[in-house]
Structure 1
Amino acid sequence: MIDTTIFQDKTAVYYTLGCKLNFSETSTIGKTLKEAGIRTARKGEKADICVINTCSVTEVADKKCRQAIHRLVKQHPGAYVVVTGCYAQLKPDQVAGIEGVDVVLGAEQKGELMNYLGNLEKHSQGEAITTAAKDIRSFSPSCSRGDRTRYFLKVQDGCDYFCSYCTIPFARGRSRNGRIEEIVEQARQAAAEGGKEIVITGVNIGDFGKTTGESFFDLVKALDQVAGIERYRIS
């Protein structure tokens, strides 16, 4: 059990690079920290925690990630800095070597970020905690609000195809998905919050069901029964 008393009245900032899937995951991280008593820092306010969710599609993306990390470290001196996402998974030691970074979390650890905050004391040097791509198996559900009534719902992660030009299988691990029952419950929560449209997201949605023995068609049929959601889009 995590002692959340040390997080009361602490503040955090979140910075996301890359795809809608990353934005959805950052949103879920933010909700988890909020439940522990950590509020989002106001504009211009110095934060106690910086969470940076990175992309690594190209060298340009890597450069943008490094720039974002340097910028946030400078803007929030003394903050506990956590870097996760694809760049963190692919080049953890490089990221851990950036001044000001405390913890680098890979794809398997991203969903358990709370477990790596400790007492928020700065590290003398960055610590990288990752899992080899072939061993990444956990699926971290996420659902984020894109605007007032549109939500992005993650249903699948990872890829098994290993195309020569693509780093996704190494950055996000093998294909895996959530269970229909759990995903439908997230859709119901979105509807309860006023959501009218859900964008179904994933790395390779056509692979949905590989890890649960279900099918994407069954998922769509189940989601169609959720009262209040007027439109679904497949991203």
Structure 2
Amino acid sequence: MIDVHTFENKTAAYYTLGCKLNFAETSTLGKILEENGIRKIRPGEKADICVVNTCSVTELADKKCRQTIRKIARQHPGAFIVVTGCYAQLKPEEISHIPDVDLILGAEQKLDILQYLGDLQKKQKGNIVTTPTKDIKKFSPSCSRGDRTRYFLKVQDGCDYFCTYCTIPFARGRSRSGTIEQLTEQAREVALSGGKEIVITGVNIGDFGKQTGETFLDLIESLDQIEGIEHYRISSIEPNLLTDDIISFVARSKRFAPHFHIPLQSGSDTVLKLMHRHYDTDLFARKIETIREKIPDAFIGVDLITGVRGETEELFE
């Protein structure tokens, strides 16, 4: 049972590292604490609670997280510091030894933060509350306000792909998603609050609906029906999951932007195999051709990775 009196007149500061998905979840965390009487700090104020939502996609990301935590401890002396996110899921013991950290929450506990704040008393060593990654099953919906009219809607979490360069399946667990009914209702609430644009986010959004028998195409067709939302943007989608039906739908939709972010990672089939990617360059090229044919003015963004173990100078070229 949570004693709400513990949180009376308390203030909180929020720090987010990493992806748009993290920003959506931090926004939801802020809303949860605000609904329980914990106000976001104003400029110049010292916070009673600091929440750090971390990233762990690279060693550099881990280093930035540690630097951020130490900086926050200096800026808000005596604050109750909570660290969550991918770094917290992957390396909780490492974080627990950082001075002034009081609570480390794993991926599944992140949005249940209220249950773990206790009496907000400082600890000698950070208390760790995590679930083994293989046992993470819960999908926690999140929707954040990016600016005055743009929102980020989380539709999916986790990944089953286990690409050789990526820590996400170990940090966020297996692929899971919300239901179309649940997510469409969230989008309606955005429209009612004056939101005009929604960016659809997740870890591997094309994998949407595995547990429910629904598809990503079903989801975007449902979202497209909501009055009040003027623009949708698909944040990033794997080339093997970007179906011709999805491309055709975007081509005829009035609300979905002619915008595709499609990670290529390498132009070499040998390197794609080294990475354990789920497509080859021929499939990728055909997807680009289909987009150009159906939506000639579409914007296409691409990710590339270099220096993968086993990549030679020849393969790089």
The structure having more radius of gyration, on CA atoms, is 2
Partner of 2:161: 161
Partner of 2:31: 31
Q: Which deviates further from its counterpart, 150-159 or 115-124?
A: 115-124
CA distance in 2: counterparts of 1:132 and 1:20, whole angstroms: 24
Within a 5 Å distance, the mapping from 1:18-167 to structure 2 comes to 18-167=18-167
Residue 123 of structure 1 and its aligned partner are, at CA, apart by 1.2
Residue aligned with 1:103, SS? strand
Residue 2 of structure 1 and its aligned partner are, at CA, apart by 2.0
CA distance in 1: counterparts of 2:224 and 2:165, whole angstroms: 36
Partner of 1:4: 4
Provide, for residues 102-152 of structure 1, a one-character-per-residue CA deviation record: whole Å limited to 9, x for no partner.
010110111111111011111121111111111011111000011111100
CA distance in 1: counterparts of 2:136 and 2:7, whole angstroms: 29
The alignment's C-alpha RMSD in Å is 0.8
- Kindly indicate whether structure 1 or structure 2 has the higher relative contact order, using CA contacts under 8 Å at least 6 residues apart: 1
CA distance in 2: counterparts of 1:13 and 1:172, whole angstroms: 24
Partner letter of residue 137 of structure 1? K
Partner letter of residue 49 of structure 2? I
Partner letter of residue 184 of structure 1? T
Residue aligned with 1:233, SS? strand
Partner letter of residue 234 of structure 2? I
Q: Report how many aligned residue pairs link the two structures.
A: 235
Residue aligned with 1:102, SS? strand
Task: Give identity over the alignment, percent.
Answer: 71
Residue 222 of structure 1 and its aligned partner are, at CA, apart by 1.1
CA distance in 2: counterparts of 1:127 and 1:3, whole angstroms: 19
CA distance in 1: counterparts of 2:8 and 2:23, whole angstroms: 25
Provide, for residues 22-58 of structure 1, a one-character-per-residue CA deviation record: whole Å limited to 9, x for no partner.
0000000000000000000111111000000000111
What stretches of structure 1 move > 6 A for 4+ residues in a row? none
CA distance in 2: counterparts of 1:152 and 1:220, whole angstroms: 14
Partner letter of residue 167 of structure 2? T
Residue 187 of structure 1 and its aligned partner are, at CA, apart by 0.5
CA distance in 1: counterparts of 2:230 and 2:124, whole angstroms: 51
CA distance in 2: counterparts of 1:87 and 1:226, whole angstroms: 36
Provide, for residues 66-96 of structure 1, a one-character-per-residue CA deviation record: whole Å limited to 9, x for no partner.
0000011111111111000001111000001
